[in-house]
Structure formats: C-alpha cells, structure tokens
Amino acid sequence: MDPSAWMERLQQGDREALEPLLAHYEGMLRYIVSGVLSDPHRQEDCLAEVRLKLWEKREQYDPERSSPATWLTVLCRNAAYSRSMGFTETG
C-alpha cells in the first residue's frame, strides 16, 4: 500500500495504519534522530514520541501541502531537537 493511503486511513482513525506507515519510514526516522541525539536510549524515547505525535496530530496532515515523508520528517526533526535542548512532552 502507498504511504499516502496509510495517512488517509490514519486520518480516519484507523490505528492499524500506524504500524505499516512507521515501518515504511523507520530507516529515515532513525537516521534523522541519530543525527541529533547520540544516546541510543534518548533516540528510542524520541521515536516513541514521534509515534505518539503522529497519532495525535494526524488530522493536521494536509496532503496538498506535503508528502507523508516530508510531514514525518518535520515531526521527527522537531521532536529530536526538542529533546536535544532538554524539552519533552512532560517537561
């Protein structure tokens, strides 16, 4: 299935679309996080945060403005930079 179709299903509330979408982009997301965070534990925490943000912000995705890869890149980069500066969802 095409990542755009997974995003569409995700926007409709289909949680089962989350896993294949993340699996498709796993290498890219890990590459982004590892470029910002050197600690493997912080990297995994960041990827978990990206997963949560993807679900929480799924309705904000606009296929007219970006591809799923671009949108996930921004989510991931922002989460990694926030963690690198000491910001997290809880603090």
> For position 86, what pLDDT does the model report?
82
Task: Estimate to the nearest angstrom the gap between the alpha carbon of 34 and the chain centroid.
Answer: 14
> For position 91, what pLDDT does the model report?
46
Contact 7, 63 (CB under 8 A): yes
Contact 68, 2 (CB under 8 A): no
Per-residue pLDDT of the chain (91 residues; tens, 9 = 90+): 899 999 999 999 999 999 999 999 999 999 999 999 999 999 999 999 999 999 999 999 999 999 999 999 999 999 999 999 887 654 4
> For position 1, what pLDDT does the model report?
81
Q: Dihedral angle at the C-alpha atoms of 8, 13, 17, 18, nearest 10 degrees?
A: 110
Per DSSP, helices labelled H in the chain are 3-11, 18-36, 40-56, 68-84
Residue in the structure block whose two tokens are 């403005």: 65
Give the containing element (helix H, strand E) for 87: none
pTM score, two decimals? 0.87
